[in-house]
A and B are shown apart, each in its own frame.
Chain A
């Protein structure tokens, strides 16, 4: 019997996935991983933004499980459609496991102005901001992306790229609290409860991504994570440290909290909305809440690393900003779609998804979420302080 692994199973196996996926990339950091050579030829031939010839090959670097996969054929329908329509080959690589790790891997090449063999990559706000600040990215060819007008208004002008000159959102997601009411014996709706409720001692995890964990903690302390100062940050660190010292927080995790939550090692945790949607398919009891004090929202952005083929990458951006394509991706990915009109398209594909507030959040929910200060997210001192609390 050949059993295929669905995305949901992969999320559940997050523990294995997170670690296993992490390791090859550490190795890859030390040497090439085979893609560079091929793609460089395509990338170096066309660099001028005004160029309007499609390259023969487009190399996209993205996070694992972040685009639709046909689970019967293991092919990626959206990628195939793009290849057919534009007559080129897409090299789709799932090699972004961690923003820092990705940056560490390519920084030397980017700093030296060498192409990194990727025409398009997807990075979280604060890292995208760093890439823009350091000049490691090329401007998007806006003429090639008329569909960019479909971008939801809330995401149109982030502080680090007010005109969306260099970036276009791929997916957003909310950070909140996930819990299993059967085990917790009731709702867990605040960070305070998560960090102090005796019944949850040692059954709680938080995320290793600093903006997510610190964002929620700061909101709970009554501070604003969208403009962070040292005092507010340190107050948050104290709150977090207390929860670590008391043994309340069991671990700091990446995606692998999914595994602990499913197996009952963890009863309540700081979690990402899209993961919980997947986990709910197995355990409908699971709840995801945006804490009363507020939740966090983040965005992963498409960027064109210097040396990438601007026109071809821009053409891809335009393609995925068609509402029907965006809906197709969303039906699989289940995070939050940044494309206006995708919900209407989704109603035709899967009404349940279209009406799921974790995928198409309500106004109320959106009013209660904040974006973490991108500069603070990249502040080395804050990062080091946070790292010291999370154990290293």
Chain B
């Protein structure tokens, strides 16, 4: 104890140590190996050697830019849809949930008690060509007689949206929950309409939640491959599918690693732009 007393400045670092050590071991080291692998050349039989093979990157991008682009499209649409669904949901639970709040929150998380894969497989059954959903859609004319949902981009985007919805809903709920109801009252007392009070008070105060939610949804969604694999066709495959098959089937580790880096870098750039546009500083004040 004496040591800590004498060196009070050390305390924050001691507390930081487990987190930093974790990051070093499970993020910095793997990233180093991945970077190293992405610049290797060779083949699986004779082994891969580090040769500064930058062409892995150009090859990967020129061959797989459609899948890369598609990943961001799907992830973007899924994020927007998840936001549109989650916001009213979170709003309602936060302000109108009353004593049912906890139960309703539990219901949002409930699907997470079942593993990701099983949930997606369940969607496969739900969207079956001879299933209820498809025949209902056909009856009301949303789908033609030969139309189907499974193995289309609609199914893939819907699957992604569904699987990441709680990541969007929960942060929004938390920030809405913290909105001081008196501020809204004050706004209305000052003759703001309900809509105006929402737009000028509640919405801005909940933006940190929206910000966190969109990131938590968009980033993993862009790298997802399960939904495209199970609910889509090769024409819906995303960059995750490519990386998976490059690693697993073709055993072209360098190009797979390069693609992973491209994905990471693209997300990082998108993130910086997004943060600049919305600004975390401004949001949290």
* Given A250-B233, A251-B234, A392-B67, A23 and B117 contact (CB-CB distance below 8 Å): yes
Contact with A along B148-161 (1 / 0, CB 8 A): 10110000000000
- B129 at the A interface (CB under 8 A): yes
Residue on A with the closest CB to B120? A19
Contact with A along B237-273 (1 / 0, CB 8 A): 1000110111111111000000000000000000000
A389 to B151, CA, bound (A): 16
Cβ contact of A202, chosen from B124, B148, B246, cutoff 8 A: B148
* Given A107-B44, A392-B244, A244 and B234 contact (CB-CB distance below 8 Å): yes
- CB-defined contacts of A250 to chain B, threshold 8 Å: 151, 233
Is the Cβ of A19 less than 8 Å from the Cβ of B117? yes
Residue on A with the closest CB to B43? A380
- Distance (whole angstroms) from the CB of B65 to the closest CB of chain A: 13
A264 to B128, CA, bound (A): 8
- Distance (whole angstroms) from the CB of A166 to the closest CB of chain B: 18
A380 to B247, CA, bound (A): 13
- CB-defined contacts of A26 to chain B, threshold 8 Å: 248
- CB-defined contacts of A100 to chain B, threshold 8 Å: 248-251
Contact with B along A47-78 (1 / 0, CB 8 A): 00000000000000000000000000000000
- CB-defined contacts of A229 to chain B, threshold 8 Å: none
- A367 at the B interface (CB under 8 A): no
Chain B residues touching A, majority SS = helix
- CB-defined contacts of B129 to chain A, threshold 8 Å: 263-265
Is the Cβ of A387 less than 8 Å from the Cβ of B245? yes
- CB-defined contacts of A281 to chain B, threshold 8 Å: none
Is the Cβ of B241 less than 8 Å from the Cβ of A391? yes
Residue on A with the closest CB to B247? A104
Contact with B along A365-392 (1 / 0, CB 8 A): 0000000000000001001100111111
Contact with B along A180-211 (1 / 0, CB 8 A): 00000000000000000000011000001000
Most chain B CB within 10 A, of A15, A16, A98, A265, is at A265
Cβ contact of A104, chosen from B146, B150, B151, B248, cutoff 8 A: B248
Is the Cβ of A252 less than 8 Å from the Cβ of B121? no
Residue on B with the closest CB to A134? B45
- CB interface residues, A 309-330, toward B, < 8 Å: none
A287 to B269, CA, bound (A): 53
Is the Cβ of A389 less than 8 Å from the Cβ of B234? yes
- A120 at the B interface (CB under 8 A): no
- A20 at the B interface (CB under 8 A): yes
A253 to B246, CA, bound (A): 17
Cβ contact of A15, chosen from B47, B121, B233, B247, cutoff 8 A: B121
Residue on A with the closest CB to B249? A100
Is the Cβ of B124 less than 8 Å from the Cβ of A15? yes
- CB-defined contacts of A111 to chain B, threshold 8 Å: 47
Residue on A with the closest CB to B245? A392
- B196 at the A interface (CB under 8 A): no
- B194 at the A interface (CB under 8 A): no
- CB-defined contacts of B63 to chain A, threshold 8 Å: 388
Cβ contact of B251, chosen from A104, A263, A392, cutoff 8 A: A104
A167 to B227, CA, bound (A): 39
Is the Cβ of A19 less than 8 Å from the Cβ of B230? yes
Is the Cβ of A383 less than 8 Å from the Cβ of B250? yes
A374 to B248, CA, bound (A): 20
Contact with A along B29-53 (1 / 0, CB 8 A): 0000000000000011101000000
Chain A residues touching B, majority SS = helix
* Given A104-B248, A264-B128, A264-B130, A249 and B233 contact (CB-CB distance below 8 Å): yes
- Distance (whole angstroms) from the CB of B115 to the closest CB of chain A: 9
A181 to B230, CA, bound (A): 25
Is the Cβ of A392 less than 8 Å from the Cβ of B151? no
A244 to B234, CA, bound (A): 8
- A143 at the B interface (CB under 8 A): no
Most chain B CB within 10 A, of A252, A388, A391, is at A391
A380 to B46, CA, bound (A): 13
- CB-defined contacts of A107 to chain B, threshold 8 Å: 44
Is the Cβ of A392 less than 8 Å from the Cβ of B234? yes
- A9 at the B interface (CB under 8 A): no
- B235 at the A interface (CB under 8 A): yes
A388 to B66, CA, bound (A): 12
Is the Cβ of A387 less than 8 Å from the Cβ of B250? yes
- A238 at the B interface (CB under 8 A): no
A391 to B252, CA, bound (A): 16
- CB-defined contacts of A98 to chain B, threshold 8 Å: 248-249
- CB-defined contacts of B130 to chain A, threshold 8 Å: 263-265
A256 to B223, CA, bound (A): 23
A212 to B69, CA, bound (A): 31
- Distance (whole angstroms) from the CB of B143 to the closest CB of chain A: 13
Cβ contact of B151, chosen from A101, A202, A264, A390, cutoff 8 A: A202
A104 to B130, CA, bound (A): 39
A250 to B146, CA, bound (A): 14
Residue on A with the closest CB to B239? A392
- Distance (whole angstroms) from the CB of B192 to the closest CB of chain A: 53
Q: A264-B129, A390-B234 are in contact. List 19 more A-B contacts (CB 8 A).
A: A15-B230, A16-B118, A19-B229, A23-B117, A98-B249, A100-B248, A104-B247, A134-B45, A201-B146, A249-B233, A251-B151, A251-B233, A264-B130, A265-B128, A383-B249, A391-B234, A391-B241, A392-B234, A392-B237
A sample of 30 inter-chain contacts (CB < 8 A) reads A15-B121, A15-B230, A16-B118, A16-B121, A19-B117, A19-B229, A20-B117, A100-B249, A100-B251, A101-B248, A104-B251, A201-B146, A202-B151, A208-B249, A247-B233, A249-B233, A249-B234, A251-B233, A263-B129, A265-B128, A265-B129, A380-B250, A387-B245, A387-B250, A388-B63, A389-B234, A391-B233, A391-B234, A391-B241, A392-B246
A-contacting residues of B (Cβ < 8 Å)?
Answer: 43-45, 47, 63, 67, 117-118, 121, 124-125, 128-130, 146, 148, 150-151, 229-230, 233-235, 237, 241-242, 244-252
